[in-house]
Amino acid sequence: MASAYKLYRVEYKLALQDPEFKETRYHNVIFVETGSDGSGYKHHVNGDVVSETGMTYLREMESKPDLLETFHAVHYLGWVTSSSYPEAFDALLRSLPTPPRQRRFNIQTMKYERCGSDGAFYGPDEIAPPLVKCTEWTHQTAIPALLQKGLIQTSEFSQST
């Protein structure tokens, strides 16, 4: 029988808040607990929305999240079978679009302004779409895709499935 790993959405405190958001924001990751000590792998997008390349998907080994100084909160999502993790799980997340460039410095106004992924500034009559960063990617793209493909199981967790 295949074993299974618990899945969480973990929030970490940011060193610097984005002034474009009024509410406190946290770096969101999907964490797969693979170690008996609570360690595992975090799956997330990292980078910024100012550089031409935007944000990048990463899979990184991590100790138990609540041991880290920047830990804020953990939310149980379900579990994934060892037959799906890491290959199918990681392949799906790598295939998802990551947040593109959404701001750049405007030499005319001498400040960072919202732009499309092509770098073109929005006109005075255009409404820029909401910013997409790690939180939105995790909540609106990654988790729904994993659920849709059946890679997150939400029934009662079992060490053997």
Pick from 73, 64, 69: nearest CA to 35: 64
Residue found by looking up tokens 């005319």 in the block: 108
Mean pLDDT of the chain: 94
Write the pLDDT tens digit of every residue in 47-92.
Answer: 999 999 999 999 999 999 999 999 999 999 999 999 999 999 999 9
How far is it, in rounded angstroms, from Cα 29 to Cα 74?
Answer: 10
- What pTM value is reported for the model? 0.92
Position 161 scores a pLDDT of: 39
Write the pLDDT tens digit of every residue in 6-17.
Answer: 999 999 999 999
Residue found by looking up tokens 């001498």 in the block: 110
Position 46 scores a pLDDT of: 97
How far is it, in rounded angstroms, from Cα 102 to Cα 3?
Answer: 41
**Percent of the chain whose predicted confidence (pLDDT) is above 70:** 95
**CB-based burial, 14-37: b 16+ in 10 Å, e otherwise:** eeeeeeeeeeebbbbbbbbbbeee
